[in-house]
Amino acid sequence: MLIITLSCLFIVLKVVGTFLTLNFLPIQDPETLTMEEKFKLQKEFSINYDLGNSMINLSKLFFVVLIAYSIYSFYVFWRITHSDNSDFIK
């Protein structure tokens, strides 16, 4: 259940964060702009660039936690299924 919750939270944070950082202003000849100008335009004309960037970074944290928990769960499941159960018989 925790894996499903973390997966959903990761996906929602990533999608909403990406939507908040999008720039909806059409730019003509973007290759003439420098990287600093592109970054300034994206930050200025996006919905909420700082919040979106924070949500994307938070989704990365949830992804790392999800992977770590999945590995831990697989390891515990593997240990239970491959144990010899001799200590439980006594």
- Structure-token pair, residue 73: 């769960």
Give the C-alpha separation, 47 to 41, whole Å. Answer: 12
Higher pLDDT, 85 or 59: 59
Element spanning 80, H or E: helix 49-81
| Alpha-carbon 74 to chain mean position | 21
Q: What is the pLDDT of residue 11?
A: 92
Q: What is the pLDDT of residue 81?
A: 84
pLDDT at 89 over 80: no
Q: What is the pLDDT of residue 87?
A: 58
Is there a contact between 10 and 63 (Cβ–Cβ < 8 Å)?
Answer: yes
- pLDDT one-digit tens code per residue, 40-74: 888 888 999 999 999 999 999 989 988 999 999 99
Is there a contact between 15 and 55 (Cβ–Cβ < 8 Å)?
Answer: no
E-state strands within 39-83: none
